[in-house]
A and B are shown apart, each in its own frame.
Chain A
Amino acid sequence: MSITTTQSTGGVTVATVEGQLIVANRQELKQAIQEALDGGARRFVLDFSDTAYIDSSGLGALVSINKRVREVGGELRLAALNEDLRSLFTLTKLDTLFAIAESANEALAGF
C-alpha cells in the first residue's frame, strides 16, 4: 500500500502518500478518502512529506477529492510538498485552490 490513513487525536484523517502520486495509484488515494468520508470523516490532511513526485493525473485526483470533500461540507488541507511539487501547484494555479501547510502538524493545528 502506498497510501496510509490515520486519525489524529483531534479527529482529523491524515493520509500519507509514499513515493509517488501518479496514474498508477491515484485511484487508491481516491478510494481511501471516499471510505473515510463514508465512515463520517470530514476533515482531512494529505501529508506529502514522503512523496517525491505527483503527475498531472495525481493533481487531477486531488481536485476531484477536494470536490467530494467540499460537497459534504468537509475540508481538505495539503501538507509538506517539496519545492519541486510546490512549483507544479503554482504552475497549474492549484496553489490558490488548496490550503497548503509546511507540515502535517501545521495543517492539523489550523483545524
Chain B
Amino acid sequence: MRARIIKINGPVVVADRAETLKMNEMVRVGGNKLIGEVIGLDHGEATIQVYEETSGLKIHEEVEGTGRLLSVMLGPGMIGNIYDGIQRPLSELEKVGGAFIARGVEAFPLSRDHKWSVKLLKEVGDEVEEGEVYAEIKERGIVHRLMVPAGISGKIVKKVEKEEFTIDDVLYILENGTELGMYQMWPVRIPRPVKKKLPSKIPLVTGQRVIDTFFPLSKGGTAAIPGGFGTGKTMLQHQLAKWANADVIVYIGCGERGNEMTEVLTEFPELVDPKTGKPLMDRTILIANTSNMPVSAREASIYTGITIAEYFRDMGYSVAIMADSTSRWAEALRELSGRLEEIPAEEGYPAYLSSRIAAFYERAGRVITLSGEEGSVTVIGAVSPPGGDFSEPVTTHTKRYVKCFWALDRELAYSRHYPAINWNTSYSGYVEDLKEWFVKSVDPSWYDYRSKAMELLAEDGRLQEIIKIMGEDVLPDMQKLIVGIARMIKVGLLQQNAYSEIDSYCPLDKQFKMLKIIIDFYEKAREFVEKNVALSEILKGSVVSKLMRMKEDYKSAEELEKLEREVHEHFGKLEKVYKE
C-alpha cells in the first residue's frame, strides 16, 4: 500500500504510511507526479518537501517512493547545459511546456541521443579500484574522465567495443556483475569522498585587481561577497565566472532574476576564455532556479551545484562554483522551516542555519582525489543582507566559515566605484598562504608593495575623517600627498570597468606593474616633500593624469614600462630644478 497525502501546506506535504518511505528518499507526489523529497518521518507520518508548485494537489492522492535518495546524474553532457535546481535541463522543459515552466515533467539530465566517442583505458583482466579512471571522452572544452564510483572495485571480465556510445551504454562489466557505464548517480547531500585535503598554496587568478592584488583567493578556498542590492554582487560573480582561471565553472543562480540567467546564456557563448581561446560556455555549467521558481528546488540547487563541482574535481580539475545568492537559499530554509512549524532561532531562521552553511562551505578544498590526482573546488557565495546590514544571521554565520570576505559597499556603488569592494572592511585569510606563490611567480617584492598600498589606504581612511570636517586644505603637504596617492590607488587601480575591452581582465604582471608605478611614485614624491618642495610642483605635469588612466591606456606590463620611464624622467627633471 502506498503512502497517501493527508495535509498540504504550500510546498510541504504530509503523507501517512511512512513505513513505505525512507529518509531523504526522492518521491513522486500525486497524480501529476510532482518531484519531492522526504525530509521527516515521525509517528507513521512522512513530511515531504515538493520541488514543484503544489496547486491542484488533493488529500489522499498517492505518494510513490523511488527507492533512491535525491541524486544527480553525473556523466558527459553537463558542460554548457543549464539546469533547474533538481538537475532538469531547462531546454528539455521548454520542449515539453513551452516558454512557461510546466509541472510534473520528468526530464533526463543528460542527452540520451548524443553519440560520444569514448577512449577506453582498461582491458579485460585489469583490476580497477574506486575513483580510477576507466575511460575518457572529449567534451567541449575538457577531457571528461569516467571514474569507478566510490565503493566499487574488482576485475574486469567484459569490455564493450563500439565506435560510439550513448549515455545508456555499458562499457565494462566486473567480475561481481557490476556494470561500469557512461554515468554515475550521487546523492546531493553527501560530499564525494577524497583521499586527502591539501593546504591552499595556489591562487585562483581572477584578473580583478582588488581581488588578486589586495584580497586574493586560493584554489580550493572559500569567499563570500556580501552586499545590499545594487552594489554589484551579480556583476562581480559574472566577472569571476568569466575570468577566473578554473578549468570548470559551476554557476548557480539561486533565487535570483530570470533576465540575469538569460544574460549569461546570451553572453557566455560569445566570450572567449583567455586561457584556452575557447568559448566560455565550453567550461561552464549553469543552474538556474530563479526567484519565482518553487522555493524547495531553490534549497536543493546549492547541493546540486556543489555535487557537480565535486565530480569534476575528482577528475583532477580545478573547479570554481559561484552561488548567487546564498541568502536566497537560507531564506528557502527559513520558509520551509516555518511550514514545518519548527521553533525559530534568530530572525525566523532555523537553528540549523549555521551548520548548513558550514557544511556547504566545507565541501570546498584542494584535494588529492581517489585516483591520486590533484583537484580543487573553490566556493564563492554571494550574500544579500537585508537592508545591507552585515550583522544579520546569514552574513554573520557565513563570515565564520569563509576565509575571504569581499564586502560590497553601498557608498562606493553610489559613486559608481566598481567593483564596490570596500578595502577597509574586506579581508583575505589567504594572503600569507599565497605569499610564496606570488613572490615566486609575480615579483619578489609583491608582498612589500601590497603592504605599502594597504598601509596608505588605511592612513587615507584616517585622513578622510579630518577632511570631512576641515577640508583638505588644512593638511600638511605630506598628508596631502598620501590622500592624493590613495586617490590614485582608488581610481587608477582599484576601480575596474567590467565593460572595458582592455580592463575587464587585468593580467597579474600588469596588476603588479601598476601597483609598483604608483608606490614608486609615492616614495619618490615623498623624498621631495621632505626636501620642502611644494606638492603642487611635484604633481605638476601630465604624468599624474597618465597614472590615473594607465589601466585603459596601457595594454600590458611591457607597455607600462614606458610610463615607468616617464615617471623616472619626471622626477629627474624635478631633481635638476631643485638641486640647489
A, B: real partners:
no
A positions within 8 Å CB-CB of B: none
B positions within 8 Å CB-CB of A: none
